[in-house]
Chain A
Amino acid sequence: MTVEENLPPARRAGGEHRRMDSRDAGSAARDIERYAALFAQRTRVMTSSAMRDLMAITERPEVISLAGGLPDTSTFPAETLAAVMSRVAADSSARALQYGPTEGMLSTREGIARVMAAEGLDVDPGDMIVTTGGQQVIDLVCKTLLDPGDVVVAEGPTYPGAVPTLSSYQADVVQIGMDADGMRVDELEETLDRLEREGRRPKFIYTVPTFQNPAGVTLSLPRRRRLVEVAQQREIVVLEDDPYGMLRFEGERLPKLMELDGGQFVIYAGTFSKILSPGIRLGWAVAPRPLLAKLNIGAQASTLCPSSFAQLFVSAYLDTGHWEGYIDGLRDLYRERRDVMLEALAEELPPEATWTRPAGGLFVWVTLPEYLDTTDLLARALTHNVAFVPGRAAYLDGRGASEMRLNFSGSSSDDIREGVRRIGGIVREQVELYGTLTGRVVPEPHTEPEPRTDLADVLELPRRRSDDGRRDAR
């Protein structure tokens, strides 16, 4: 099926769309057998088909979707876009239309080094390749390091977009639990010991240490240090995926794993998707040279080179000097939306629910009572025109059934409030129904939840209380 079929009618190019191919009209039974024999093993991705069908409906225009991971690109000034494009056209039109080096143009890599310098990092453009989005870095690392069946260690929950990538390289993914301080590094060490005993040596650890997608939590400094030590001692690569690092709403910046590692085992993945535009499709990797050379060969095989036009656009845009101000604006916008979401969650969700409180990024992770299934809940939510990502999408081992990811960057404050109100209504209804079915006493509203020790910090939650009014959302 074509992508266009997924779009609501309003977003179509206009006119009745007609496919140009005229496929063989042979019997369907023959078709299936013919293709089924051709599909590679790696295409047997185990994503729930129900979930895929449900997610398709979230794209309808009347649905308030807290399911996406979209930055808000509507605040980017159109005149800046026009000016930068004109400049690319005037100064370098032939280059913009031409192939470029696989590792990316030097001017772009120098620009990326300037962006990283704004975070206090000193990176040599020679230690870097430019990629087609941060997503390609994940793909290239898998391509470079994994044979079918190789073990990859990831957070649980992990970035849902990495799941199909890891699956397509037939990775054996082992997921490590998280708490308010990010990945449980003690659990990681136990798991690595166990894997070693079983003779399964992981090739790399995939982590989003800062404002994690989907959990919204951040790996603490002690754990960052320990994770890097563990990787060095055991000689395991760490893929540090860092799309949100610059979207910090409060608190002090923590050193990146790459800084702590000093160029030994950490591959760093950055992207312009969340600080400029995901439509530009430009990301980058910083890696130790031997790894970088292999990533480069992989990139050559898959895309030849990143888009020259996009690179020149980014270089020219960075030259305007507006970019830091733009990111400041995004931070303010997303901080406000996060506050709205946290406040709405405190008002709308029943006491049995818990959620994280991100200090940056795009997502809040909600945990509902174990008897609720968020895939079924999504079906119900869609009848109320609201959507989220069911937790199962963030696991490869079937966990996450009662969890969900909510995005606050891509919707207006009003939509966030209304969306959470609708979700809260359904959750309360289902909690109550379960209480009725089990004969349990339905908990009184407005009672404080039992503190969960594993998410202690996270659970210092803003809740509506009658005595002192609304607690400060921060």
Chain B
Amino acid sequence: MRSKGALYRDHGVVLRTYKLGEADRIIVIATEHNGKVRAVAKGVRKTRSKFGSRLEPMSHVALQLYQGRELDIVTQAETVDHFRAIREDLDRYGHAASMLEAVDQMAMEREDNPRLYRMLLGALRSLAADDSPLVVAGFYWKLLAQEGFRPELDVCVGCGEDADLVAFDLHEGGTLCRVCRSGFPLSAGALDLLRRILGGQLAGALAEPRSAATHEVDQLATRAMEHHIERRLKSVGMLDRG
């Protein structure tokens, strides 16, 4: 662990910000090499701040930070990508907010997790390129799988039967057959999408048009994520139309 008072550099994605005092903000960043970092950005709320828009949520930045005892201090920030396509589209912004909130909940402070960082970046890039109905669900399932919650999708977790899988139970950790069923009902189309997302065919699944099955997978992903982090996700569905 680095001692207090040292400067260090890292890349990161800004997850969220809190107002601090008159013109400052606390910035929560998912960094590549230092895990989740909380840092003070002094004077960012002033119109003439040197940081400008660089430290807004969702920005991918290269930072120089000063290590403090509890909070670090941002001394320099350079934009790598500001994901303008997401920022200027309300639906995409809503989806990005759901992803950032989940990462904020899952990431551990100062615990190196480069895979989490790279997954978030990848998800934001694919969201910027195309607003797929499964982009949030795909990200959630991948994130859960990486954290060790990889559901069983090929056989019934109750009896081992591999046909007629009709339900999904978060407590049991996977699919269930008609006899053992508990949890949520699961359609064949949704099961197929889940298998593709977790079986290395994410790109193909993301290209699927919106349907009842994508909606089902999306709902299930939110429930699984909430189950894992043991709290509600505030941002999910808030900006959805209808």
Decide if A and B are genuine partners: no
Give A residues with C-beta under 8 Å from B: none
